[in-house]
Amino acid sequence: MEQFIEWISQPWPWWVAGPIIGLTVPALLILGNKTFGISSSLRHICAACVPAGIPFFTYNWRKEMWNLVFVLGVLIGGFLATTFLANPDTIVVAEATQHDLAALGITDYSSLMPAEIFTWENLFTGKGLLFFIIGGFLVGFGTRYAGGCTSGHAIMGISSLQWPSVVATIFFMVGGFLMTHVFLGPLMSLVGF
Amino acid sequence: MKVADKNKNVAPVECEAPNLQDKKSENLLKYLVIGIVFGIVFVKAEIISWFRIQEMFRLQSFFMYGVIGSAVMVGIISVQLIKRFNIKSISGETIIIPKKEFRKGQIIGGLIFGLGWALTGACPGPLFAQIGSGFTVVTVTLLSAIVGTWVYGKFADKLPN
């Protein structure tokens, strides 16, 4: 039992996590004829709360309830894993990345997210504006404009061999590389790092 | 005769009503379970970590490429098997995967999402798992993402597509 707890507390390798994520595709198809996608949940929340007579949000979101239940499950799963299966050690990050991030002012590896950024104290500062408000807006606006996110396009779309999803995934990566290598440094020094 | 006819009509309805409801709640429960498994994997493999996303975009670790690559491989094989053997869903329906049409949005929107992905360290799925694992400030990011989705919806017909 002790050995099991020790084993399950370890971070899981990519070759365990990737295939389980991949299996979500046939699981949703076979169990409910549903296509995997998470960003649609954001659209359903809009449709349920503030449709405001916008055609894009006037549809029967109750039919898509499964998607909202699914993301609630993701939230609960995050809670369970952190509460009962947490890794007691600090997160192991590639040395080169640590070196690059130190130059930006990020040195705290005590939890999965950098404590220098993701705290409530930063909410009403430039850091909060950049990482939570602008970051979140870009994620929400971008996924909907692209018609899906990493789950809907990169996993589900490519799994079903749809080339528009390959295009979307390529541009997800291009955007990420651009932010990381071109904009992140200047933006971070702008907000006080 | 009349009574029998009446019963004929009523009986199945009586039987179906509770079944339908059972089916409905069971249906939703299974999505909750799949979601929970998904959330656990996100945290246990540290996919929700801002650091992992930085490693990926700096090409300094294979980890996230391994995750996405193996997920896609398993997905492709599964979908091919479903198609080849004409596997039905458990309720007996033919499995339908909607076709995605190419639009300019996949380029412009994709680029915008990528910028946000590197900032927040999360795509929509990990956002929910981050909140669950105690980074409660991410609810602000999620709210902002919902606003972003709404703004897209509001101006959808005015954007190039």
Q: What is the pLDDT along chain A (193 residues), one digit of tens a residue?
A: 788 888 888 999 999 999 999 999 999 999 999 999 999 999 999 999 999 999 999 999 999 999 999 999 999 999 999 999 998 889 999 999 999 999 999 999 999 999 999 999 999 999 999 999 999 999 999 999 999 999 999 999 999 999 999 999 999 999 999 999 999 999 999 999 9
Q: pLDDT digit string (tens) for B35-45?
A: 999 999 999 99
Domain boundary pick from A86, A102, A137: A86
Asked whether residue A109 falls in the same domain as residue A153, the answer is yes
Question: Which of B38, B85, B88 has the most A C-beta neighbours within 10 Å, making it the best mutation to test the interface with A?
Answer: B38
A38/B42 Cα distance (integer angstroms): 13
The Cα diameter of chain B in Å comes to: 80
Q: Tell me phi and psi for residue B88, to 5 degrees.
A: -95, 160
Instruction: Find, among A133, A135, A172, A131, the residue nearest to A151 by Cα.
Output: A172
Q: Tell me phi and psi for residue B94, to 5 degrees.
A: -70, 135
Asked whether residue A73 falls in the same domain as residue A138, the answer is no
- Min Cα distance B17 → chain A (Å) is 19
Asked whether residue A113 falls in the same domain as residue A49, the answer is no
Domain around A137:
91-192
Asked whether residue A81 falls in the same domain as residue A95, the answer is no
Nearest CA in chain A to B25: A66
CB B95 within 8 A of CB B87: yes
Q: How buried is residue B18: exposed, middle or buried, by Cβ count under 10 Å (0-12/13-18/19+)?
A: exposed
Domain boundary pick from A86, A116, A140: A86
Nearest CA in chain A to B70: A18
B152/A43 Cα distance (integer angstroms): 10
A69/A45 Cα distance (integer angstroms): 12
Q: Do A74 and B49 touch (CB under 8 A)?
A: no
Domain boundary pick from A86, A119, A151: A86
Asked whether residue A96 falls in the same domain as residue A77, the answer is no
Instruction: Name the token pair of B31.
Output: 């999505």
CB A74 within 8 A of CB B33: no
Q: What is the pLDDT of residue B23?
A: 58
B153 — contact with chain A (CB < 8 Å)?
A: yes
Nearest CA in chain B to A177: B57
Instruction: Name the token pair of A45.
Output: 């929340």
CB B70 within 8 A of CB A23: no
Asked whether residue A61 falls in the same domain as residue A117, the answer is no
Strand spans (E) along chain B: none
Q: What is the pLDDT of residue B70?
A: 98
ipTM surpasses cut 0.90: yes
Question: Which of B53, B107, B150 has the most A C-beta neighbours within 10 Å, making it the best mutation to test the interface with A?
Answer: B150
CB A44 within 8 A of CB B151: no
Asked whether residue A158 falls in the same domain as residue A72, the answer is no
Asked whether residue A79 falls in the same domain as residue A96, the answer is no
Asked whether residue A40 falls in the same domain as residue A97, the answer is no
A159/A143 Cα distance (integer angstroms): 18
Q: What is the pLDDT of residue A2?
A: 82
Nearest to B110 among A54, A128, A142 (CB): A142
Asked whether residue A98 falls in the same domain as residue A184, the answer is yes
B73/A155 Cα distance (integer angstroms): 9
pTM of the model: 0.91
- Grouping H, G, I as helix, E, B as strand and the rest as coil, residue B94 is strand
Q: Do A139 and B122 touch (CB under 8 A)?
A: yes
Give every residue of chain B whose pLDDT is below 50, as ranges: 1-18
Asked whether residue A32 falls in the same domain as residue A56, the answer is yes
Asked whether residue A73 falls in the same domain as residue A117, the answer is no
The total of structural domains in chain A comes to 2
Q: What is the pLDDT of residue B7?
A: 46
